[in-house]
Amino acid sequence: MQSDLIAFINTDHLAHNYSALRRCCRPGVKLCAPLKADAYGHGVAIVAPALQEAGADYAAVATLDEAVELREVGWQRPILVLGNVLSAPNPAERRERIAVVVEYDLTLTIADQATVQRLLLAEPAERISVHLKIDSGMGRMGALPAQAAALLAAVLRARCLHATGLYSHFATADFGDRALVARQLATFQQVSAEIIANLPDGLLRHMANSAATITLPPAHFDMVRPGLALYGYLPAPRMAEQIDLKPVLRVVSHLSAVKNLPPGHCVGYGRTFTTRRPTRLGIIPAGYFDGLPRSLSNEAVVGTPHGDAPIIGRISMDQLAVDLTDLPPLRVGTTVTLIDDTPGRPNAVATLADRLGTIPYEVTCLLGRRIQRVRFSQTCDLPPNRGQTKLNRNSAARRSVSQS
């Protein structure tokens, strides 16, 4: 069965964004695609093959489960696991996780001496690739600069480990104020310079997220890790002059009911909206479980073939209501757009993020598992009203479906 909620993932736009980010870098710089959190909510089963086809050199995930899933959808290139997955308190669990690392040929992050000791005690069956993480000023995972040389020495002494990368992460690369960015970059450069004599040949240094990939060439080093920008969203509006990105995601549903209400009628929980006139009401089978926050109640719009319809009343777990009164008649089954892929639209990801006081990452990562992710290519037809999308069912590649 087809879901009542469909996210069309435009792989042409994904490839466009990948190429645009490549052009920000000098030749030879590798690109690592962050595919954690189900590819930022877009569906890893669709995004990963498309980025592998585009030429991405690496992938990054947060957990071992995500890494295994990535291998199972066909990713054949290196996978960097960003989280400290060997922090589990149970030794048996740690051994099991190390076995998974070996079986799926994963690269681990090493941020402290304790992780090195855990790996030594487990005696892995094969040598494990590791990237050392340096805390250059963000204050999360990572060895402090003064600890970097000792950590590298411990890794180099461990015959079961193979150091293949050194990395850090920016805290404010999307800010206009570059003071912390400059300090972090200088710290990472200094650490690299101090230990470079002991670094193995071919070791990858990487630090640049989306914002730094777009605006800070000195931070590109050997590889960049643009996340948000791959999916078509700017880290900051001012960067629109430096790169052309195309949103990858569009979420649609349909009207499941249409009814007329008299003036003075309550709509939804808590009576936050009461009709002031005869009102034609539309119901859509989507709610906060699907990633449409309750805080958008009475604050957002839904696109229809005849114009935008405001959301009225509280968004509930499985349903929301819209006011259709000022639009031409719409019938049950009419396709509606919950999240638009046109920048600047009132229901575009960036606009919704601003309205919610958050960032685009959170909007896309909130998308729930009832939303069916469907690969979409521009070679399929889109009606002028941006209504229902037709899939080319003669192409297996274009009807790849991921149920999140």
CB 84 within 8 A of CB 118: no
SS3 280: strand
Residue pair 234/240 in contact by the 8 Å Cβ criterion: yes
Structure tokens belonging to residue 170 = 């920016």
**What are residue 149's phi and psi, to 5 degrees?**
-65, -45
Structure tokens of 366?
A: 């909130």
Q: Are residues 97 and 77 in contact, defined by beta-carbon separation less than 8 angstroms?
A: no
Going through 152-243 in order, the beta strands assigned E by DSSP cover 161-167, 204-208, 223-224
Around 134, how many Cα atoms within 13 Å sit in the side-chain half-sphere?
A: 25
Strand-pair category, 320-323 with 307-312: antiparallel
Whether residue 36 lies in the annotated active site: yes
Out of 18, 30, 36, 167, the active site residue is 36
CA 358/CA 103 separation, integer angstroms: 38
58: annotated active-site residue: no
Q: Are strands 307-312 and 372-376 parallel, antiparallel or unpaired?
A: unpaired
User: CA nearest 251: which of 204, 219, 284, 218?
Assistant: 284
How far CA 281 is from CA of 10, 245, 293, 320, 323, in Å, comes to: 31, 36, 20, 10, 5
Catalytic residues: 36, 269
